[in-house]
Structure formats: structure tokens, C-alpha cells
Amino acid sequence: MINKLITREQRKPELQLSHEQQNIKVENHKASLLAWFDSSANLGSDNSRFSWLRISPFIAIHLSVLLVFWVGFSWIALAACALLYFIRMFAITAFYHRYFSHKSFKTSRFFQFVFAFIGAMSAQRGPLWWASHHRVHHACSDSPEDPHSPKHKGSLWSHMLWFLTNENFATREEKISDFSRYPELRWLDRFEIVAPAFLILMLFLTGEYLANSYQGSSTSGLQMVVWGFCISTVILYHATYTINSLAHRFGKRRFQTKDDSRNNFWLALLTLGEGWHNNHHYYATCARQGFAWYEIDISYYILKLLAVFGIVTDLKPVPARIKKQIRGEF
Ligand SMILES: [Zn+2]
Ligand SMILES: [Zn+2]
């Protein structure tokens, strides 16, 4: 009897502890769910590396590609897929990267928000989150402090695992105070889900309109969502991620930078110019990443076109000393 009492007494704190742990677990699940809608959700008490609940939409987008076997094909849906890849890749490379991360040109507050919104439609987090982490990447490229160096944690980490961790979930406010003073950007960064949700809704409505108004279009609301958002976004994801993984491993090193960045023609084509990554790490603040005339940089050509209409201004050029150095290569 006494033995039984002692055992019960001894068990009590254990039970209390497990009850507390249970509460913490429930709170963490709540925070993970809330983080789908509000990126200011506090994941502070969650010490696990990944929160599977929080990253399940990322997994779900990949699985949703399989819906293509159900919704079928149409040329208009394929065109939406390609066009949305192109437009959103431009918003990521020219604005999330060259503008918000490196301030390599200027634009109005209106277009700053418009392109931030298009970038956010890529479902690659908000502009402040994206740029703040990218600034850390440049400050300590391929050192242990680099959030996504393939050198220290491997290719898969640099490609996508790094941003799925709880550790890298919050925007690094101290790195992006120049842009976080705009309330509309803070709003977009916090409620980042709004932009992709808007795109999905627009695609669905367009598909339904086409299905009802043009019998020959062979499309539907769901088909437009699957091609225009699901498939296009997954391709866009992995094309963008190659710059963190492959462009630090495969290609030529024109400049002996302190990191392992490379220039890679194929990645430059895929990402509208970002593949000239060794050039970029050598001199990050110019609007152009293909330094030589033959280094195709589609985002830069589009920026030049936008400059004609005054939508962007003050494109920072490649410095004369670098141009001279490149001419010396021949
Ligand atoms: Zn890099
Ligand atoms: Zn950069």
C-alpha cells in the first residue's frame, strides 16, 4: 500500500510535466496554423527544426500538380502557366532581388507595391522576409552564418530546407528597416497569403468565364488554377531555388569572390538573368547581372524597357573598371 502511494506521488510531477508539454504542443500547433494566414505568428516556443503543420501548404502545392490528370490540358491553361512563370520570375528577380535586396534602381511607391504584390503571388514569402534573408546571404556568403550555403549544409538545404525551418521563419527586421517603414509593405509581408489567394481566385474566375463564353477554349476554373498556379508555382519555386543551390556549385568563376558563386548560362536563361551569380556576388548593387553584352539578362532588358516609360529610374550601371576588365578577357 505504502509502495503504491509513493509511486503515485512520484508520478504526479511527471504527469504535470507531460500536461504542460501537451499544452505547449497545442499552442505550437495553433501558432503553426495561424502562420498560414499571419506571418507575425509567434513560433518562439516551438524548438523543433520543422513544423510539419506550418509547412504542409508547401507540400500540398507540390501534390496538387497531380490534379492535372483530373483537369486535363488546354492551350490557354498552358499559356497561363508560362506567362505567370515569366511575370512572377521577373517580379522576384528584378524587384524582390535587385530592388528590395540591393536597391539597384528606383521606382515610385505605387509601383514598388505593385511589383511587391506580383512577387508575393509567387508564394515565396513577403518582400521584406525575402530581401532581409538575402541581405544576410550576401553579408556572410558561404560562411556558417549564411542561411543557405550548400557548402556547410548541403545542396538540399540550400535549395529549400533552409526556409522551411522555424529558425528562418521570421523576417529579419534589423536588416530591412529601409523598406519596413512602408506600412503597405509590412502589411503584404505579414499577410503574404493574400497575394497568391488573389491569383488563385482570378484564375478560377477567368477559367469559368472562358468555359461559359467560349466553348472552344476547353478550359475550366479548376484547370486554370492547376496550370496557372499549381504547376507554374512549383516550376517557379525550383527555378528560383537553383540560384541558392546550383549557382554556388556549378559554373565559371570570373571573379575570385570570397564565396563559391558561379556564372551559369543555363541558370541565367531559366531565371531571367540571375544565373550570372558570380558577377552578382562580385558587384551586387548594379541593376544588371550579365556584365558582358553576350551574358543574357532578360530581367535587365525588361527593366530598361520600364525605364523608357518612367516606371523605374536610376538603374545602377556596371562600373567602368569592371567593363574594362571584361574587355580584357578577349
Ligand atoms: Zn549567392
Ligand atoms: Zn543578391
Q: How confident is the model at residue 10 (pLDDT cuts 50, 70, 90)?
A: low
Taking the centre of ligand 2 as the mean of its atom positions, its distance from the CA of residue 101, in whole angstroms, is 7
Cα(246) to ligand 1 centroid in Å equals 10
Q: In sequence order, what DSSP letters do the residues of 161-180 get, joined into one string?
A: IHHHBSTT-S--GGG-HHHH
Domain membership flag for residue 54? no
* pTM, entire model: 0.92
178 with 274, same domain: the answer is yes
Q: Which residue has the cell 498560414?
A: 36
The reply to whether 202 falls in a domain is yes
| 135 has a pLDDT exceeding 70 | yes
Using the structure block, give the residue that is written with the C-alpha cell 536597391: 103
User: For a pLDDT cut of 70, what percent of the chain falls above it?
Assistant: 94
Burial of 329 (C-beta count, 10 Å sphere; 0-12/13-18/19+): exposed
Q: How far apart are CA 188 and CA 192, in angstroms?
A: 5
Q: What is the average pLDDT across 130-145?
A: 96
Average pLDDT along the chain: 93
Half-sphere exposure for 46 (CA within 13 Å, toward CB): 26
Mean pLDDT value of segment 87-108: 98
Residue type, 24: I
Give yes or no: residues 141 and 191 share one domain.
yes
Is 14 inside any structural domain? yes
**211 C-alpha vs ligand 2 centroid, how far in Å?**
42
More confident residue, 321 or 23: 321
Residues 189-248: pLDDT tens digits? 999 999 999 999 999 999 999 999 998 889 999 999 999 999 999 999 999 999 999 999
| Grid cell listed for 2 | 505504502
Query: What distances in angstroms separate CA 286 from CA 239, 251, 283, 307, one per listed residue?
Result: 22, 21, 7, 15
- Asked if the structure places residue 170 within a domain, the reply is yes
Looking at residue 216, its pLDDT comes to: 87
* Domain span at 276: 60-327
Buried b (16+ CB within 10 A) or exposed e, 117-134: bbbbbbbbbbbbbbbbbb
Do 17 and 95 lie in a common domain? no
305 and 166 in a single domain? The answer is yes
Considering the domain boundaries, does residue 235 fall inside one? yes
Q: How far apart are CA 118 and CA 115, in angstroms?
A: 5
Task: Report if residue 322 sits inside a domain.
Answer: yes
Query: How crowded is residue 320: how many other Cβ atoms within 10 Å of its Cβ?
Result: 8
Task: Say how many Å lie between the CA of residue 329 and the centre of ligand 1.
Answer: 23
Number of domains in the chain: 2
Assigned domain for 238 exists: yes
pLDDT-derived band at 282 (thresholds 50, 70, 90) equals very high
